[in-house]
């Protein structure tokens, strides 16, 4: 594929090349064949029609739809779709593309729930093909049996937050008066940037092995690989290809039955939870709306069981315009979010632990995102154990794992990183306990943990450049303490990642608070697999 992401190189002369901002956008050159496709929604029910909106400089192009998983199945193919060009709006990342409908597909009534990958392609230079990937989910049919199934919720708000197709996401971009800010408003009516939906085998991970030796210059293989191969600079941070797909493949291979929905579905229809004995999220799971959290908490209070094999529970979002616009002002929320000081101030799009929001994530998932953060990559504990140190091996989750006090679980597979969740804690008689100072409720058991940090440990040397450096330490201090002095910053410099278990109402919550937990499943680490099966089987009532 000959994909050349549009690039900007506004950067300090001492900065490293991987710090420049680049993003994917159409070339819009009639001499360069390409096709980009998106859908009006991210999920559909069986029997509904998916409309594909497209812009193409190719005279014709092809469409394939695959139900993805352990054994991908081609469910629809259409060749010779007429190509028609439509320009990308200036702020497509914020307002969507509004392209015309190019073709459609009616989902069969008996279509199974799941993740459906869309591959659009056209003939390109030298006999190659330009390929672009999109996706949608098929929700479970209302009358379909849920016996013995869990419900998998895709963390689509996080995927959206990292999608910078067209120029911006919630991290970086060309928004703002000077064209150099992230966008607090993102549209779902645009394509997904390259690498979030599909990756070639061997694409590096943020926590890729091997760890750098002491004294080596820091490396960020995902940035280097993405820049070299024309992939999104954030491809490794969030998305189906790098995270959730690994869990789905493993779960299907293990014989688990489950249905799939998006976070938008949870936001709009929380009653869907009550059809299932257990609900699961995995991977990089950073952004939730007020409505999503209330739905999960009410579900657990009624006796539901929630398993979270993922990390980084940090930001509140709002979904607007029926769910096709995502809003998150992040550290700018107290100054810019229009709901501040209004009756809707409880939906302020800042961090859950920010006093302006005041709803620590531990009340829902047992851990807090800002008490965790980074490990096992770049300058963030680059030579960590890459696993969780076990402290309560007698807990039911460790049955059959042969875990012992002090063992490192999942270290060889690297299950600890790149963003993790934890709690403020203390040790008594060799065991960790939550202090509760960060809003953690009573009754949380810390089963295993390891250290994390917000700041890259920097060493000087020729060719030494660091990516995130202090990773917003000043903003974090302001959110936690209301101050930005050195003492306040030291209070938020270090954190932890944890495996926790807690009761909530009549239900139960289990969290393995790490984005990389799924790698223990993908690499068939015995203890990670056994613990995951223990949780799923218990929560399914097996």
Residue listed under structure tokens 């995130």: 468
Instruction: Report how far residue 161's alpha carbon sits from residue 272's, in angstroms, rounded to the nearest whole number.
Output: 24
Q: Is 539 helix (H, G, I), strand (E, B) or coil?
A: helix
- Report DSSP state, residue 457: -
Tokens of 110: 């008996």
- Peptide linkage before 2 cis (omega within 30 of 0): no
Tokens of 313: 């529970």
Residue listed under structure tokens 């941070």: 237
Render the burial of 52-65: b for 16+ CB within 10 Å, e for the rest. bbbbbbbeebbbbb
State residue 20's pLDDT score. 64
Tokens of 334: 């107290």
Render the burial of 140-162: b for 16+ CB within 10 Å, e for the rest. bbeeeebeebbbbbbbbbbbbbb
Residue 205, CA distances (Å) to 171, 216, 445, 470 in order: 19, 19, 30, 21
Q: Which domains does the chain have, with CATH numbers?
A: 6-148 (2.60.40.1930)
Per-residue pLDDT of the chain (542 residues; tens, 9 = 90+): 333 344 333 333 333 444 467 899 999 999 999 999 999 999 999 999 999 999 999 999 999 999 999 999 999 999 999 999 999 999 999 999 999 999 999 999 999 999 999 999 999 988 899 999 999 999 999 989 999 999 999 999 999 999 999 999 999 999 999 999 999 999 999 999 999 999 999 999 999 888 888 989 888 999 999 999 999 999 999 999 999 999 999 999 999 999 999 999 999 999 999 999 999 999 999 999 999 999 999 999 999 999 999 999 999 999 999 999 999 999 999 999 999 999 999 999 999 999 999 999 999 999 999 999 999 999 999 999 999 999 999 999 999 999 999 999 999 999 999 999 999 999 999 999 999 999 999 999 999 999 999 999 988 888 888 888 888 888 888 877 778 899 989 988 999 999 999 999 999 999 999 999 999 999 999 999 999 999 999 999 98
pTM summary value:
0.95
Tokens of 65: 């739809």
Q: Are 411 and 390 in contact (CB under 8 A)?
A: no
Tokens of 132: 């672009």
What tens digit of pLDDT does each residue of 295-349 get? 999 999 999 999 999 999 999 999 999 999 999 999 999 999 999 999 999 999 9
The full length of the chain comes to 542
Instruction: Report how far residue 377's alpha carbon sits from residue 219's, in angstroms, rounded to the nearest whole number.
Output: 9
Kindly compute the dihedral angle of the four CA atoms of residues 189, 194, 200, 205, in this order, to the nearest 10 degrees. -110
């Amino acid at each position: 594929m000959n994909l050349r992401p549009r690039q900007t190189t506004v950067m300090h002369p001492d900065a490293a090349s991987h710090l420049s901002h680049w993003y994917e956008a159409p070339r819009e050159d009639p001499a360069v064949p390409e096709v980009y496709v998106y859908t009006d929604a991210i999920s559909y029910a069986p029997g509904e029609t998916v409309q594909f909106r497209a812009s193409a400089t190719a005279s014709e192009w092809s469409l394939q739809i695959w139900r993805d998983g352990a054994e991908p199945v081609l469910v629809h193919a259409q060749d010779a779709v007429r190509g028609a060009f439509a320009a990308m709006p200036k702020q497509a990342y914020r307002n969507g593309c509004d392209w015309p409908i190019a073709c459609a597909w009616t989902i069969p009534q008996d279509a199974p729930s799941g993740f459906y990958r869309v591959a659009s392609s056209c003939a390109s230079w030298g006999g190659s093909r330009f390929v672009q990937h999109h996706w949608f989910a098929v929700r479970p049919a209302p009358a379909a049996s849920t016996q013995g199934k869990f419900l998998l919720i895709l963390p689509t708000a996080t995927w959206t937050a990292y999608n910078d197709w067209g120029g911006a996401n919630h991290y970086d971009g060309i928004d703002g008066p000077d064209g150099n800010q992230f966008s607090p408003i993102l549209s779902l009516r645009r394509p997904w940037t390259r690498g979030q939906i599909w990756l070639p085998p061997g694409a590096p991970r943020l926590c890729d092995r091997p760890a750098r030796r002491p004294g080596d210059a820091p490396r960020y293989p995902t940035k280097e690989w993405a820049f070299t191969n024309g992939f999104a600079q954030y491809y490794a941070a969030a998305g189906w290809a790098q995270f959730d797909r690994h869990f789905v493949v493993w779960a299907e291979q293990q014989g688990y039955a489950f249905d799939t929905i998006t976070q938008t579905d949870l936001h709009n229809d929380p009653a869907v939870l009550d059809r299932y004995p257990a609900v699961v999220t995995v991977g990089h799971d950073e952004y939730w709306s007020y409505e999503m959290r209330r739905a999960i908490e009410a579900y657990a209070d009624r006796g539901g069981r929630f398993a979270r094999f993922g990390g980084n529970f940090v930001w509140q979002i709002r979904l607007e315009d029926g769910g096709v616009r995502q809003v998150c002002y992040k550290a700018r929320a107290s100054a810019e979010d229009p709901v501040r000081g209004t009756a809707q101030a409880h939906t302020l799009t800042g961090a859950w632990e920010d006093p302006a929001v005041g709803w620590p994530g531990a009340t829902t998932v047992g851990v807090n995102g800002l008490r965790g953060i980074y490990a096992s990559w770049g300058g963030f504990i680059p030579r960590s154990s890459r696993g969780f140190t076990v402290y309560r091996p007698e807990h039911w989750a460790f049955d059959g794992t042969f875990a012992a006090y002090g063992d490192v679980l999942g270290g060889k597979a690297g299950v600890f990183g790149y963003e993790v969740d934890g709690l403020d804690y203390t040790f008594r008689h060799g065991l960790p306990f939550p202090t509760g100072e960060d809003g953690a409720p009573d009754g949380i058991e810390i089963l295993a943990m390891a250290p994390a940090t917000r700041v890259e440990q920097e060493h000087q040397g020729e060719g030494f450049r660091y990516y995130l450096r202090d990773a917003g330490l000043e903003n974090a201090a302001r959110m936690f303490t209301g101050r930005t002095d050195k003492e306040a910053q030291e209070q938020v410099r270090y954190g932890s990642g944890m495996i926790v278990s807690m009761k909530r109402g009549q239900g139960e919550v289990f969290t393995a608070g790490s984005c990389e937990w799924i790698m223990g499943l993908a690499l068939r680490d015995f203890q990670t697999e056994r613990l995951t099966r223990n949780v799923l089987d218990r929560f399914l009532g097996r």
